[in-house]
Amino acid sequence: MRAHQIMTRNAVTVLPETPILEAAHKMLENHVSGLPVLDASGKLVGIVSESDFLRRSEIGTQQKRPRWLQYFLSPAHSANDFIHERGRKVEDVMTRDSVVAVEDTSLDELVHLMEKNGIKRLPVLRDDKLVGIITRANLLQAVASMAKKIPDPTADDEHIRDRIIRTLEATDWRPTGLQVAVRNGVVHLHGLIINDDSVHRASIVAAETTAGVKEVHDHLCFVDTWSGFYMESPEDMKATS
């Protein structure tokens, strides 16, 4: 899946000279947390987002640095703070040099760019012109759409069992003594989990996300090698109580 398949087209935008009050109203009215900033020719020149409104004189949240720290800051740094806190136009507060994507950027690269740069949105460009924007909400929608169950003609019990075993055996955390039984799409997992509950959950997830699985029954037992403590799965404990 690529950027053009999940991006929001016809994104709401503002100009550099747009008053920040108008930009704030646009964000609220359109239920978005950031806006691309385009110049008169339609070229992307920045992004204005919720975080750009955090340090503002109107609400008394200007930077309050210790006097000693100010000796280490250049006059330009203080001047930029002043502009950001008191400026009246979008260009005074926006983030320049925005990280961007193109229409063919893959989902994996989109996520990498967001994580690496600590951002929540990516403008999508074609020949330096904005054609859309991708936010974390778009990625969430992609997950939801891809998670829809698609019928698999090979999802019979034997195929299901083989796929679960192959998936778990390819990991370095698989349960010890793994046994998988499948009947009519219902999976039963048996084995030992050593010391780590995350391995327990990951094993269940591996079964649950295999095509054709209708239900997973957990018979995985937990063993603490330090104390020798042994515990049956909650499902089996409940069945014998």
* Strand residue runs (E) in 84-240: 101-102, 121-126, 129-135, 176-183, 186-194, 215-223, 230-231
Stronger pLDDT, 213 or 152, i.e. the higher one: 213
Fold classification of 157-240 is Histidine-containing Protein; Chain: A; (3.30.1340)
Query: What pLDDT digit, counting tens, does each position of 159-177 carry?
Result: 999 999 999 999 999 899 9
Task: Say whether pLDDT at 207 is over 90.
Answer: yes
- SS3 of residue 150 by DSSP: coil
Contacts 24+ apart (CB under 8 A), 143-149: 146/1
pLDDT band at 188 (very low <50, low <70, confident <90, very high): very high
- Average pLDDT for residues 9-16, to the nearest whole number? 94
Domain boundaries, the chain: 3-146, 157-240
Higher pLDDT pick, 56 / 121: 121
Residue 63 has what pLDDT?
63
Give the helix, strand, coil percentages of the chain, each rounded to 5: 40, 25, 35
pLDDT at 68: 57
Second CATH level (architecture) for the domain 3-146: Roll (3.10)
In this prediction, residue 97 carries a pLDDT of 86
**DSSP letter (8 states) at residue 43:** B
Q: Which tops the pLDDT comparison, 143 or 184? A: 184
- Give 72-116 pLDDT, tens digit per residue: 666 666 677 777 777 889 999 999 988 999 999 999 999 999 999
